[in-house]
Amino acid sequence: MRYISTRGQAPALNFEETMLTGLARDGGLYVPEEIPSLSADEIRALAGKSYEEIAFTVMRPFVGDTFSDDEFRSLIARAYAGFNHDARAPLVQLAPNHFLLELFHGPTLAFKDFAMQLIGQLFQAVLARRGERVTIVGATSGDTGSAAIEAFKGLDNVDVVILFPHGRVSEVQRRQMTTPPESNIHALAVDGDFDDCQAALKDMFNDFDFRDEVKLAGVNSINFARVLAQVVYYFSSAVSVGAPDRNVSFTVPTGNFGDIFAGYLAKKMGLPIDRLVVATNQNDILHRAIASGEHTKHGVTPSISPSMDIQVSSNFERALFDAYGRDGAAVSALMSELDEGGFTISQGAIEALRDQFDSGRASEEETSATIKDMRARSGELLCPHSAVAVKVAQENLTETVMVTLATAHPAKFPDAVEAASGIRPALPPHMADLFERPERVTRVKNDLGALQALIKERIAR
């Protein structure tokens, strides 16, 4: 299995190199050269299997000879051992034809744990074998940072530096990043928004001297290994509701487009997915782009679903690459236009995108009303991100069964959930003392040089 860049100018890599490289050296994102597929019989055979067994079957064709079968199985087993639910990703029913996929039973209570716990294991295995050390720098709107810290804290071969937007993450999210005492963890509060953090990260990757000096690695969803880990729960949930003998639709609360892109991959692999619905909050650039063909930046307004407060969704580039017939030069040109404010998607490409994706948005009021309403109608207490998706899913219900992804535990966003429902969700026991633990964080200007200097200073030892 080889991986190629969406901008067509970087060398093709195998799985191991793709995972360690993160962003391609031409600024693009790696995608598999060909998408492997599972037959209907192979999908049918997943019914009743453990999450770990499904994960092995779905991901095996992508990893090539980076891991032996035995090694890959044991890494998967270790990745999910710390989850608080035997099903890992349980489904609950909201309405006759509408299910909720609970992806928040991992150690940091958000779906990011599914990918991060796995790539923590994969990185550790590969780096130990190569005798190498890397600096992982991640940008986060809240949940990626804590998931990465939880997955990599205390590991020998890795420093983890997390950039988060100062004052724009929930207090639980911040404390999850600032309280781990391990010396290889560095939380930096940047004076800016999430897009500033993500742009700084991309600039670091594009500064080859810096990149090589600190051995920069990335665990944002620009890293294909992360997206791959998320393909698994589309299969596990679809099979639970009758695939491959019944079609399934999914609605996904979307920020960086990584999670929904995993659904798109699952469909390409042969899972009978009818609709993939992109749900955005008031920061709705993706909904506007799919509805109108205009992909234009309008700024970010902070919302009660902060993990989706974003305007440049890095993984959308992967979808555009396919929609433009895998023309790397065309994608490069679009991305240059985006730096200037936006671009118009070509007629052919917008039709290709609409063949795959529907979209919708939920306002702040609709999100709060959905939290309250679902609690009353089904007993389920939703986090604001999941509520955005449930609202949009309700507008897209057909006779095909709908699975909506619940991406975080309500206790990560207690203020918004309490304001909407009157119920203050409690943190689970393993995090109950979070508010008593001491914090360790460095506030930094949104300045590339200052960030790079600080990172070099921190990893020197």
Question: Where does this chain bind ligand PLP (CB under 6 A)?
Answer: 110, 112, 143, 221, 253-259, 307-308, 385, 407-408
What strand order describes the sheet that includes 248-253?
91-95, 98-102, 401-406, 248-253, 273-280, 357-361
Decide whether 145 or 244 has the Cβ nearer to ligand PLP: 145
Nearer to ligand PLP among residue 247 and residue 254 (C-beta) = 254
Strands annotated E in 183-265: 185-190, 216-217, 248-253
Calpha distance 379→73 (Å, rounded): 36
Taking the complex as a whole, the smallest distance from the CB of residue 254 to ligand PLP amounts, in Å, to: 4
Q: How near is the Cβ of 449 to ligand PLP at its closest, in Å?
A: 28
Name the residue nearer to ligand PLP (CB basis): 19 or 147. 147
Residue 383 C-beta: closest distance to ligand PLP, Å: 6
212: CB partners within 8 A, 6+ apart? none
Residue owning tokens 């030069």? 329
**Shorter beta-carbon distance to ligand PLP: residue 170 or 249:** 170
Cα-based distances in Å from 256 to 11, 349, 393, 449: 25, 20, 19, 25
Closest CA to 312 of 282, 335, 345, 346: 335
Give the CA radius of gyration of the chain: 20
Q: What angle do CA 196, 199, 201 make, to 5 degrees?
A: 110
SS3 for 290? helix
Name the minimum Å distance from CB 144 to ligand PLP.
Answer: 6
Instruction: Confirm whether 112 is a catalytic residue.
Output: yes
Sheet with 158-165, side-by-side order of all strands: 216-217, 134-139, 158-165, 185-190, 442-444
Contact 288, 181 (CB under 8 A): no
Please report how close the Cβ of residue 210 comes to ligand PLP at its closest, in angstroms: 25
User: Which of 5/313 has CB closer to ligand PLP?
Assistant: 313
Closest distance to ligand PLP from the beta carbon of 235 (Å): 17
Angle between helices 112-130 and 224-240 (to 10 degrees): 130
Q: Per the omega criterion (within 30 degrees of 0), is the bond before 244 cis? A: yes
Indicate if the alpha-carbon torsion angle 448, 451, 457, 458 is positive or negative.
negative
Identity of the residue, 16 or 322, whose beta carbon is nearer to ligand PLP in the bound complex = 322
**Residue with Cβ nearer ligand PLP (46 or 393):** 393
| Least Å from the CB of residue 177 to ligand PLP | 13
CA contacts within 13 A on the Cβ side of 252 = 25
Catalytic residue among 112, 202, 267, 391: 112
Q: What is the DSSP letter of 400?
A: S
> Nearer Cβ to ligand PLP, position 210 or 235?
235
Instruction: State the sign of the Cα–Cα–Cα–Cα dihedral 139, 202, 75, 243.
Output: positive
Q: How far is the CB of 459 from ligand PLP (least distance, A)?
A: 26
Residues with catalytic roles? 112
